[in-house]
Amino acid sequence: MGDMIRNLGKMYMNGEWVEAASGKTREVLNPATGEVIAIVTEGGVEDVQRAIEAARQAFDESGWRETSARHRADLLFALADKIQANADELARIETLNNGKPLREAESDVDSAVSCLRYYAGMVTKPHGQTYEVSNPNMQAMVVREPIGVCGQIVPWNFPLMMSAWKLAPCLAAGNVTVFKPSETTPLTAIRLFELMEEVGFPKGVVNLVLGEGKTVGAELASSHLVDKVAFTGGTETGRSVMQAATGNIKKVSLELGGKSPNIVFADVDVNVVVEYAMFGIFLGSGQVCSSGSRLLIQDDIYDAFIEELRARTALIKVGNGMDPDTEMGPLVTRQHMQKVLHYIEIGKQEGATLLTGGRQIVEGEFGKGNFVEPTIFTDTTPQMRIVQEEIFGPVLVVQRFKTEEEAIRLANDTVYGLAGAVFTSDAGKAMRVAKQVRSGIFWINAYHSAYDQAPWGGYKQSGIGRELGTFGLDEYTEVKQINFNTSLQPLGWFKGKQ
């Protein structure tokens, strides 16, 4: 048994740390070793309702929404500083709980700090508008106001970074939050809320609930006291969140799955681009919404590319994320690993060729964790399930194309539209493809880069709304027009007069 990170992780609501009314608890596991690393309280519907009521009261009565943008920015800057001061601890917790290699967890902590600072800076800048209208006496303006109580639900693949992406624009805009991390990976969120308490967010403004998605998460999506729900996770769960939100016509933003195409034309340097293809799929063990899980390779370089890709993929160092040499960690849970292994079986049954990988790694210590070999399928057809469905693991499917038109057609041939990429030395071709692929994020000669300034989100069944950038702040504000008549005169609409 390794060191325990927490003996009892609690929920934070109305400015207090509390246990679930039911007294239930849950074990949190290290996916690399199977060891219990924490016990956390297991909230239920009753608990989340208490948190929502506290948030409702804080929004309606505490004066938080009227605080100055400067004040909210100061709190967010202070939180960013606290995260930075505790960066090593947070990265370590993230690796122990999610499994990702430490260098990935460190990068996530940096991204969280940077996102908080970005929105802290943005909210003090002008974001209203005024208009010239047909009546010269009328001053027409648009102001942005907070939406209210936000239910925020994040998944297990980027627990800390997603928390910052959700919390920063929400709080910057003057909303209050009831925040739910995944039951699988709640540990960095608990630490984050401790830091928020230290920073001094007022009572009821930031609330953390723990527990299962199908109870606690579903209540956040359906409660009539919640004004907006923001969700990141799988498309099927996103669909149920959207349905649950209809009861009080909640604002909804969804960042869902993908099956993103990574298109490689024959005019590239194979040695360079092979590594980008590997980075596109094997970062986070393929558990990334924007993973380049479909690799489209042009005919002329297909054989050379595949051989280099196979050889280098077989050299990827899989292991415990705490080992500095590890290049790819385990999958997040036993159950998720089984799902990924099942997809590998489906791929074989569908007749695709297993180029490399395909096995759970069970030798020695590996057997205690959820390790799957980096896996590549070739000889696929567009109808195969492994080509159409999100596997969310280290499984790459390769598709072969001849022409630019064919590449674009294949790229768009799924229900998803989150991300995509093209690699070519022909600028015109790169831009044509970028404009034709129907996705919210597109890279040219790059993969996975995300910036605070640039909107993140999907077309088609990959989601609704955007995170990051000015667009991300817009998702947390209502837009109000105010028309101010500067010269009040009799209207003259009704003729009769007493």
- Closest of 237, 258, 243, 195 to residue 414, by C-alpha: 258
Question: Under the criterion CB under 6 A, does residue 153 sit at the interface with ligand NDP?
Answer: yes
Nearer to ligand NDP, 339 or 400 (CB): 339
Question: Under the criterion CB under 6 A, does residue 283 sit at the interface with ligand NDP?
Answer: no
Closest approach, Cβ 383 to ligand NDP, in A, equals 19
Count of residues that bind ligand NDP according to CB under 6 A: 27
Element (H, E) at 202: none
Torsion of CA 439, 444, 447, 450, to 10 degrees: -70
Question: Under the criterion CB under 6 A, does residue 24 sit at the interface with ligand NDP?
Answer: no
Nearer to ligand NDP, 338 or 483 (CB): 338
The binding track of 244-273 with respect to ligand NDP, each residue x by CB under 6 A or -, is ------------xx----------------
Closest approach, Cβ 154 to ligand NDP, in A, equals 6
Question: Under the criterion CB under 6 A, does residue 62 sit at the interface with ligand NDP?
Answer: no
Helix (H, G, I), strand (E, B) or coil at 200: coil
What burial class does residue 350 get, using C-beta atoms within 10 Å of its C-beta: 0-12 exposed, 13-18 middle, 19+ buried? middle
Helix (H, G, I), strand (E, B) or coil at 60: helix
Q: Which stretch binds ligand NDP (CB under 6 A): 40-48, 110-118, 179-187, 346-354?
A: 179-187
Location of structure tokens 């057609």: 409
Closest approach, Cβ 5 to ligand NDP, in A, equals 18
Closest approach, Cβ 333 to ligand NDP, in A, equals 8
Question: Under the criterion CB under 6 A, does residue 183 sit at the interface with ligand NDP?
Answer: yes
Question: Under the criterion CB under 6 A, does residue 108 sit at the interface with ligand NDP?
Answer: no
Catalytic (active-site) positions: 255, 289
Question: Under the criterion CB under 6 A, does residue 450 sit at the interface with ligand NDP?
Answer: no
Question: Under the criterion CB under 6 A, does residue 97 sit at the interface with ligand NDP?
Answer: no
Question: Under the criterion CB under 6 A, does residue 237 sit at the interface with ligand NDP?
Answer: yes
The binding track of 329-368 with respect to ligand NDP, each residue x by CB under 6 A or -, is ----------x-----------------------------
What burial class does residue 412 get, using C-beta atoms within 10 Å of its C-beta: 0-12 exposed, 13-18 middle, 19+ buried? middle
302-313 helix and 270-282 helix, angle to the nearest 10 degrees: 50
The residues with which 398 forms a beta bridge, in sequence order, are 295
Strands (E) in 21-136, as ranges, are: 25-29, 36-41, 129-131
159-172 helix and 102-122 helix, angle to the nearest 10 degrees: 0
The correct pick among 146, 148, 155, 472 for binding ligand NDP (CB under 6 A) is 155
Question: Under the criterion CB under 6 A, does residue 202 sit at the interface with ligand NDP?
Answer: no
CA distances for 193 relative to 65, 201, 318, 414, angstroms: 20, 10, 32, 38
Tell me how crowded residue 428 is: count the other CB atoms within 10 A of its CB. Answer: 8
For residues 42 and 196, what is the distance between their CA atoms, to the nearest angstrom? 21
Nearer to ligand NDP, 213 or 329 (CB): 213
For residues 30 and 26, what is the distance between their CA atoms, to the nearest angstrom? 13
The correct pick among 195, 241, 281, 468 for binding ligand NDP (CB under 6 A) is 241
Question: Under the criterion CB under 6 A, does residue 157 sit at the interface with ligand NDP?
Answer: yes
Query: Which residues of the shown chain bind ligand NDP in the complex (CB under 6 A)?
Result: 153-157, 180, 182-184, 212-214, 217-218, 221, 232-234, 237, 240-241, 256-257, 289, 339, 390, 392
